[in-house]
Structure formats: structure tokens, C-alpha cells
Amino acid sequence: MASPSENTQSGLMAKAVKEGIFAGAIAFGMFLLYVGIETYQDIDNRLVWRTRWGLLAIFVLVAAVGRFLTVGFIKPHIDRRKLAKAKSGVLEISEDKGFFHKHFLKIALIALLLYPIGSVMLFGPQGSLKYVDNFGIQILIYVMLAWGLNIVVGLAGLLDLGYVAFYAVGAYSYALLSANFGLSFWILLPLAGILAAMWGIILGFPVLRLRGDYLAIVTLAFGEIIRLVLINWTDVTQGTFGISGIAKASVFGIWSFDVGSPNYFPRAMGLATSSAWYKIFLFYVILALCLVTAYVTIRLRRMPIGRAWEALREDEIACRSLGINTVATKLTAFATGAMFGGFAGSFFATRQGFVSPESFVFLESAVILAIVVLGGMGSLTGIAIAAVVMVGGTELLREMEFLKLIFGPDFTPELYRMLLFGLAMIIVMLFKPRGFVGSREPTAFLRERKAVSGSFTKEGHG
Amino acid sequence: MDYFIQQLINGLTLGSIYGLVAIGYTMVYGIIGMINFAHGDIFMLGGFAALIIFLILTSFFAGIPVALLLLLMLVVGMLMTGLWNWTIERVAYRPLRGSFRLAPLITAIGMSIVLSNFIQVTQGPRNKPIPQLVTDVYHLGEISISLKQILIVVITSVLLFAFWYIVNKTPLGRAQRATEQDRKMAALLGVDVDRTISITFVMGAALAAVAGGMYLMYYGVASFNDGFIPGVKAFTAAVLGGIGSLPGAVLGGLMIGLIESLWSAYFTIAYKDVATFAILAFVLIFKPTGILGRPEVEKV
């Protein structure tokens, strides 16, 4: 395709300059109104505008220079590397793995178990709060949610855009039942899971005939319906005010984390009074819940039902011809996925102590689905890595106080959190459309398990 | 009865806006089979372009005629969003064409997040009110029709006719229909598929921009998260009418608009979105291809 003259260095440069100028012109057109002009309300509350040519110039320059560098330097470099790789003839997935790669799961698990202890030792109980709660628990909740959704999307291949509905069902089940009946977390956790699973069946049943994008839009609609009902059914859910003062979880009913109670856990253990111990306890609870999810997923994949899910994902018609009951298969996938969403929801409620419909917007569903797909659908390790990168990365932005020194005191990194999250979603997808884990290990195999490149399967891990 | 007709008129107005946005969804779905999730935010960008042009023009030319002002607002919005959607398709969707099914959907969702947050960051999170542009109201007995409602319906009809003409009577439209039916065969027969798809995105964006500008004119306020709910409703409209079918998108839009306004009038306004979504679910369960959609043929 490339003519000989373009292969020469000067031809390449000319092309890069041309593309750079073109990109700059496009960027100028795109950002002229939205960046070049700022609208704001003046003292009389009237909408007025002012220009921001400097900022516009930066945007245009970044686009032009970025395009120039990409065409002129980065792309030829990548092409050369690809060519060299193809010439050397090494397969992309090699069988011999390094020590770290081989024992990755064990290392990760040990690191997770030691994580709260380490952060307490390094930063003291109060200082560890940030690391255990904002990073540890937050990421693990998303890992759990993504693993739950993975059963529906990654294994059964049913595109669900309303997963957050089950999360909401779990959270509100715990909040309402504990407030009205005084039941403990350990009774309500399974109950929330069961209730969410029931909702999974209720919502799953009518949409079984739908496939692909139709299924996606109906699940999105169901997610929105549940959120709107939570907002509007004020007698029960208190609407947008939400439910606050949700009971804390106890250590299996033996010790409590309420400072006033006689069997206050840190006192019983001889520790200083701090809310950090509760967060550390919660960290281990969500870690255990995640491990249960992973274990169940791995076991289910080896059972007939799990194989039926994966078969359904690859070819529904073939499944039906082979006598697989597609209705039951889809419903179990929906219910199982929803159940884990419910578990995560009730955990979320007890961790926050407050639930409101604001936490269950469509964006959450999108984030969870993005984690599943970015991780390489079906791969538990990949999804966990994706959750760490995407959620941890955006949480990290909250911590970047030093950016204020560069951009001035008015700069709030949180504002850019979702913007960067969206950009990261696009960039990861463009460069690794099969997700972080690109290879697939089959569940069922003859004699020897061989990993194949993701592009050989329709979608998913198996 | 008067009350009913009044609600019918309101619903028709709203439905026209949804219909215009729905066409963008349905065209993109028809031609490359992806849900362009960012389309609702393109609608929002169109509204913002109109808002900014309105502010600039009214501050420079105080006595500008309303008709000219409105025309410029809509035209600049169309150019703006056309450029945006062209770039978005080029950058985020084209490299993933032929990749697995969920990849472009994820970039589209990412793009939607990026666009709404981009506007939030650059234009601020507050609602942006503008003064009423068109204030005339006509009375027919108990029924009142405002000029802006008439304008919305007329502009929509004109655009739909122009659009119908392009798709059915021009070489470009023929290329679009050919690409929709069989992309590979169309390419073999000399249709520039990439260009056709780009133009489809630009056309969809232009219609959404007009809808965004009219939405701004109708409600008098713009906000960075205006894209989501109208976007989902327009997509609902596209699915309701049968995704991939252009008359279906318009019909679906009108139905969603009517359902919404009639439900708000006779039942509770709080649950109007629930009603829309519930009806979507019912239609899909009993007629999964939508009202005017062609049944999908399953091939092994």
C-alpha cells in the first residue's frame, strides 16, 4: 500500500507534517466553541461568555504535535518491532513461564492478606484508613461486582447493561431489613443475595427471547426502572435522601464495632480505639466474598452448567440443537450473577452506612462492564487487574495533591476522574481489544491444555 | 378532550426531538451494527453549540432577527457535531471495526463518559439557562399551541423529508443502503465503504444537533448531563420502531413522546420514565424486532 517514496525518511516526514497540520485544524474546529469560549453566570445570574484562546491553543498544539509524532516516529517504530517479531518466528504465547507468572495467584493472594497489616505497620491505624478503605475495599468491591457480571457477560455471553440494579437490590435489602427488623449482617448477607437472585430471575425471564443488543437495552431499562422506583417510592426508600445510619457488621455476632457496646472489638483485643479496625475487618470480609465468587466461578465452569454457559455464548443455535435447555441455562446465569451483585450490594451498604439511589446510576453498570471487557472477558485474573488499574487509578487521582502545585490551588483533580476513566476505557480498548489477558485457556480439552490467542474464540475466556 | 389534544400536541413536539436523535442511532446500527452510545452526548454537544452561538451573537448584534439567530444556532450546531462525530468514528470506532462485538460498544460508552465530562470540565457543572427565544402562543379554544412547538414539528418534518430524499434518491443514499445490506459486496462493487460510514455518522450527528438546539429552545436550559436520559429514550425509540428502520425510528420517537406526555398528564409525572422503559420492555418481549423492524434470519 505504501508507495516507495513514502518509505524514505523525507517522504515520511512530509506525511507526518501534513497529518499533524490536518489534526491541528480538526482540533481547532472541534474545540473552538467548547474550549475557546467559556460560558458562566455573572453576578446578576445572567449567562455571559469570555474567550480562552490560550487553552484552545494548547489543545490544538497537543493534537497537532501528537499526531505528528505518532505518524512520524511512533508508528514506524511499532511497525519495525512487529516486523522483527514476525521474522524471529516466536509464538506470541510461550509455554515456559517465569517464576512470577507461574505463582502469580499465590503471590497476589498473600500480598492481599498482608496488605492491611502492612499498611497499619507503615502508617499507623489512623493513617492506614485511606489505603485500606479508599483503595483496598473500593477496588475489591469492583472486583467482586465485575466477577459477578463476568458470569453473565463473560461466560454466558448475555450483554447486561443494568447489572447495578442487583447491586441496588442487595444494598437496599440490607439497609431496609436491618433498619426495620434489626437483623444482623450475617443473616442478611445471604438473604440479600437470594433476593437479588430472585430479581435476576424475575428480570431475566421476560428477556430470554432477546439477544445481543436488544437484551442490552432492556437490561439497561430495568436498571433505570429500579433506580427510578428507589427515587420515587419515598415511603419506603426515603427517595433521594437515601437511608442513613445503617447498622455496622459485627464479627459473627460475637464482637461489635459500636464504640458504646460492651463487647467492642478493639477493646476486647486490647487495641486502641479507632475506626480503622472496622475497615480492616471489612477488608477481610470483602476479600473472603471475592474469593468465594472466584471459587464458585471456577467450579461452575467445570460443571455441566458452566460448560453450557460457554457453549451458549459461542453458538446458541448449536446449543439448542444439542438439547441444552437454553431457558434454564440463561436464567441460572442471570440468577448467579445477580446473587453476587446482591452480596456486594449488602456489603456496600454496611460499609458506607448510607445508601441512596445516587450510587446506582447507569454509569456504575458501565464501569463494571468496562472492567469485565477490559480484563479480557471470562478471565478472573484479567478482570482483577483491570479493576485495580481502572478503579485504583482513578482513586489515585484524589490523592494527587502535588498537582495543585503545578496547576494552581484551584485545580481539583477529582473533576478529571471520570474524564480520564473514559479516556482510559477507549485507549485500552483500541490497543488491546481483547482485554489485558489476551490468551484463552479452554475449560474442556483433550489430553493437554493449550492456551490460544483470544482472537480464536468468539468472545470470552474458554 | 381538549386536555387530551393539548397533551397530544406536547407529546408530538417531544416525540419529534426524540425521533431526530433516534435516526442517528438507527442509521449507525443499521450500517455497522453497533450501538453508538455516545450519540446522546452528541445531542448534548449540539445543544451547547447552539447555546454558545446564541450568547456570542446576542452580545455582538443585539437586534438580530430571531429567525436568523435560530438558523445560525442550528447550522453551527450541525457543523460542530458533524465534525465531532466524524472524529469520534475515525478515532474510536473505525480501528475496532471487525473486532469482537463488545469492543466498539465499550469505546462508545467510554466516549459518552468522556464527552459529558469534557463539557462539565470546560463549561462548568451548573445548568445554563437562556432567555426564551420564541414566546408567541396561539389559542384554539382551550388548546394552546406555542410557536416553538410548531417550529419544532415543522423543522423536524423538513429535515425528515430532506433526509428521506438523500437516503432514497441520491447516489450517496444508495451507497449507504448497499453498505448496510452487505459491506463486503458493496466494497467490491466500488462503494467507498469507509467514506460512506463516515458520512452516515456526520448525518446522524447533524440531525442530533438540530434536536439538541431545539431542545435548548424548548426548555431554555442546557446541562452537561442532558445527553443521557434523552439519549436512552431516543435509543428506546429506535428499538421500539425496529432498529435499522428509518421510518421506525421516527414512529418510535413519536410514540415515546406521546407515551411520556400522556402518562405525565393522566398518571404520575414521577413515573413517566418508568412507563417509557416498561413499554419498551413489553414491546421487545412480545415483538423483539420492534414495530417496523425486519425479522432477523438465523443462520447456522
pLDDT value of position B42: 93
Q: Note whether B269 contacts A: Cβ–Cβ < 8 A.
A: no
**Chain B interface mutation, best of A51, A214, A321, highest count of B Cβ atoms under 10 Å:** A214
User: pLDDT tens digit string along A159-184?
Assistant: 888 899 999 999 998 888 887 887 77
Q: Which chain B residues have a beta carbon less than 8 Å from that of A30?
A: 80, 83-84, 87
In the block, residue with C-alpha cell 453473565: A152
pLDDT value of position A442: 60
Could you tell me which residues come within 8 angstroms of residue B221 by beta carbon, excluding any fewer than 6 positions away?
B127, B128, B129, B130
Q: Which chain B residues have a beta carbon less than 8 Å from that of A39?
A: 51-52, 55, 123-124, 128
- In angstroms, the first-to-last Cα distance of chain A is 37
Of the candidates A213, A418, A423, which has its C-beta nearest B35's C-beta? A213
ipTM of the shown complex: 0.85
Q: How many CB pairs under 8 A join A and B?
A: 174
* CB-based contact A148:A321 (threshold 8 Å): no
Q: Note whether B113 contacts A: Cβ–Cβ < 8 A.
A: yes
The residue in chain A having the minimum alpha-carbon distance to the alpha carbon of residue B126 is A40
Name the residue ranges covered by the structural domains of chain B.
2-286
Do the chains contact at A419 and B114, CB–CB below 8 Å? yes
**CA angle, A63 as apex, A58 and A65 as ends, to 5°?**
90
Q: How far is A317 from chain B, CA to nearest CA, in Å?
A: 7
Q: How far apart are CA B217 and CA B50, in angstroms?
A: 9
Of the candidates A207, A422, A430, which has its C-beta nearest B117's C-beta? A422
Q: How far is A411 from chain B, CA to nearest CA, in Å?
A: 11
Query: Where does the pLDDT of residue B18 fall: very low under 50, low under 70, confident under 90, or very high at 90 and above?
Result: very high
Q: For chain A, which ranges sit under pLDDT 70?
A: 1-8, 89-102, 125, 127, 211-212, 253-254, 257-274, 400-413, 437-462
pLDDT value of position A462: 43
Of the candidates A48, A214, A317, which has its C-beta nearest B288's C-beta? A214
Exposure letters A356-365 (e unless 16+ CB within 10 A, then b): bbebbbbbbb
* Fold of the CATH domain A105-456: ABC transporter involved in vitamin B12 uptake, BtuC (1.10.3470)
Do the chains contact at B110 and A434, CB–CB below 8 Å? no
pLDDT value of position A64: 87
Do the chains contact at A206 and B87, CB–CB below 8 Å? no
The residue among B200 and B134 whose pLDDT is bigger is B200
Longest dimension (CA), chain A: 84
Q: Which long-range contacts (CB under 8 A, 24 or more apart) does A126-132 make?
A: A126/A274, A126/A276, A128/A276, A128/A280, A129/A275, A129/A276, A129/A279, A130/A399, A132/A276, A132/A279, A132/A280, A132/A283
Do the chains contact at B281 and A41, CB–CB below 8 Å? no
pLDDT value of position B86: 93
Q: How far is A113 from chain B, CA to nearest CA, in Å?
A: 33
Do the chains contact at A422 and B111, CB–CB below 8 Å? yes
Name the residue ranges covered by the structural domains of chain A.
4-84, 105-456
Q: Residue A243: beta bridge partners? A: A355
Which range of A3-7, B203-207, B236-240 scores highest in mean pLDDT? It is B203-207
SS3 B117: helix
Task: Identify the architecture of domain B2-286 in CATH.
Answer: Orthogonal Bundle (1.10)
pLDDT value of position B212: 92
Task: Output the CA–CA distances (angstroms, integers) from residue A56 to B54, B106, B134, B226, B229, in the order listed.
Answer: 20, 28, 33, 24, 30
* CB-based contact A132:A279 (threshold 8 Å): yes
Least confident of A205-219, A256-270, B93-107, B170-184: A256-270
